[in-house]
Structure 1
Amino acid sequence: MITRRHKNLVQHDLAHFPSVVLLGPRQVGKTTLARALASEDPDALYLDLEDPSDAARLDNPGRYLDLHRSRLVIIDEVQRMPDLFGVLRGQIDARRRDGRTSGHFLLLGSASGALLRQSAQSLAGRVAYHELPGLDALETGPDLNRPWLRGGFPDSLTAASDDLSMRWRADFIRTYLERDLPQAGLRAPAVTLRRFWTMLAHRQTSIFNATELARSLGISVPAVNRYADTLVDLMLLRRMQPYLVNVGKRLIKTPKLLVRDSGVVHALLNLRSLEELLGHP
């Protein structure tokens, strides 16, 4: 297993804040990192809200968490239970009164916008945010060709062959198109969403032009902006604002939209090997 340099950073945050929100797209390694932290703390409690049995434990969250007031509680996919944040505020305040000022909750989620809104409303002053990106050059070693081709998702990067890596990324894209994007409230045909995502990959580093994309896809400009906002929220795209000395101009100039992971870009463009990638215009 590749050691994540972010582990020490998250441990630092847990030592100084009552709760830490760990953000990142699916399969980037949030759960692996959280379990590695839990393995070093025998009293840590891990709950996955995609597991019905774990979700059922929080039917009465206040009573359940009261039973584990002295433990670090790790809650995965926490955005699935938005009402929980109000309960966590009370739990944090109760633990503070008991003399514990930090290391109460580690919250994991794959929808940054939803999590930030939910936590900001209830946990202001009680939470630190940490974004977990894909594996980078400091973690993968000196060979940069493999992570450039396969991207930074651990399962893609460490696959036994380029073909298996490509298959993993194709399945990853399909899962988002058929499950995660609809669950995020994006009601659109998967074919249209794939074309939109692929067009962004073709235009990587270009200025985002919603009107041109809408015309090419045969949809409205508000629909294009909604697609983009959802993919940014799910941490699959990065909205990069222009860097200008005048701060006001930074806010009004058109940003770029970047597909965050190079391996996803290459899967969308069907570039299966380093040779194909080097020959791509």
Structure 2
Amino acid sequence: MDRSISKQIKEDLKEKMVFIGGPRQVGKTTLAINFLPSKSKSDPAYLTWDQKSDRLLIQKEQLPAIYSLIVLDEIHKYRSWRNLVKGYFDRYFPKVNYLITGSARLDVYRHGGDSLHGRYYYHRLHPLSLKELNNNPTSADLAHLFKYGGFPEPFLKATERFLARWRRSRIESVFQEDIRELESVKDLSRLELLFETLPDRLCSPLSLNAIAKDLEVSRDSVALWIEIFDRMYLTFRISPYGGPKIRAVKKEQKLYFWDWTIANKDGPRFENLVALQLLKYC
């Protein structure tokens, strides 16, 4: 299926490198390799830090320079990746360009210095939308998206058992890898406990004071933990609509999930789906 940002990425690659960020398992790698001739991970122009042979090439700074486009997947796990990419881009562009993918860690690490300033465009890949499924979406398309979510793998598998297992695995990976590596959190179990309570607070004004009281922690801790969830693409929040005077009186935001299937009731799940579809095109 064609992703809505594909056309813009193709145009941007004519001018600069392109970074693709977004939630874990939202389809960034698949989108990236579709820009390669073979559209396959076996393409020699596709390198991933998670593959030992590719990792050695990256560490030795021996990226191929004979292809018009090189896809670098998860390269931000390499400590010196910014200087490596900058050097190759400055030397070989426009003959060779680079498409770089990563999740929350890419968002953090790309801001770790200004060595890449002015050399790339950034795109965030969102879960699937109705228009990506069908130019003329039907009620059946909406029902399928509502039930199995907008992440490609469970959407295509279309079984509740797989969805449940996939969801647990994704959340565990975010906590055990992304949060543990990127955030200075002393008590990870408290974050996990907080996250488990959020489905019941979905689509309602989010009272940090009430959560703090329930968990017996400070309000500042709760505020920090919610911000971490936002940065890790677990949640996002929407502020009240209106002018400054309205927002001053009604400050509490609503919280939503990037994976709306976490919602345990149909009403909040549908509102979450709509909120994320709107976020995608804002």
What TM-score comes out, normalization by structure 1 length? Answer: 0.78
Match of 1:135 among 128, 135, 138: 128
In structure 1, what is the equivalent of residue 176 of structure 2? 178
- CA distance in 2 between partners of 1:48 and 1:259 (Å): 28
1:110 lines up with 2:107 in the alignment: no
In structure 2, what is the equivalent of residue 58 of structure 1? 58
Residue correspondence of structure 1 range 117-156 to structure 2 within 5 A: 117-118=111-112, 121-141=114-134, 142=138, 143=140, 144-156=142-154
In structure 2, what is the equivalent of residue 68 of structure 1? 65
Matched residue of 1:37: which SS? coil
For residues 57 and 79 of structure 1, do their structure 2 counterparts lie closer, same or farther at Cα, with a shift above 3 Å needed? same
Matched residue of 2:71: which SS? strand
Letter in 2 for 1:6: I
For residues 81 and 230 of structure 1, do their structure 2 counterparts lie closer, same or farther at Cα, with a shift above 3 Å needed? farther
For residues 217 and 245 of structure 1, do their structure 2 counterparts lie closer, same or farther at Cα, with a shift above 3 Å needed? same
For residues 179 and 123 of structure 1, do their structure 2 counterparts lie closer, same or farther at Cα, with a shift above 3 Å needed? closer
Letter in 2 for 1:49: W
Contact 2:33 2:39 in 1 (8 A): no
Q: CA deviation at 1:246?
A: 4.2
Contact 2:174 2:232 in 1 (8 A): no
1:90 lines up with 2:87 in the alignment: yes
Identity %: 25
Residue correspondence of structure 1 range 199-238 to structure 2 within 5 A: 199-238=197-236
What TM-score comes out, normalization by structure 2 length? Answer: 0.78
For residues 222 and 53 of structure 1, do their structure 2 counterparts lie closer, same or farther at Cα, with a shift above 3 Å needed? farther
For residues 229 and 113 of structure 1, do their structure 2 counterparts lie closer, same or farther at Cα, with a shift above 3 Å needed? farther
Greater shift, 205-214 or 134-143, is seen at: 205-214
Q: CA deviation at 1:192?
A: 3.0
- CA distance in 2 between partners of 1:116 and 1:79 (Å): 8
Matched residue of 1:130: which SS? strand
In structure 2, what is the equivalent of residue 159 of structure 1? 157
Number of aligned residues: 260
- CA distance in 1 between partners of 2:218 and 2:77 (Å): 30
Unpaired segments ≥5 residues, structure 1: none
Q: Deviations over 1:184-220 (max 9, x none)?
A: 3354555533331232222223333333222212233
Contact 1:48 1:77 in 2 (8 A): yes
Letter in 2 for 1:85: R
Letter in 2 for 1:207: P
Contact 1:109 1:115 in 2 (8 A): no
Letter in 2 for 1:7: S
For residues 133 and 243 of structure 1, do their structure 2 counterparts lie closer, same or farther at Cα, with a shift above 3 Å needed? same
- CA distance in 2 between partners of 1:90 and 1:186 (Å): 31
- CA distance in 1 between partners of 2:197 and 2:177 (Å): 21
Greater shift, 156-165 or 127-136, is seen at: 156-165
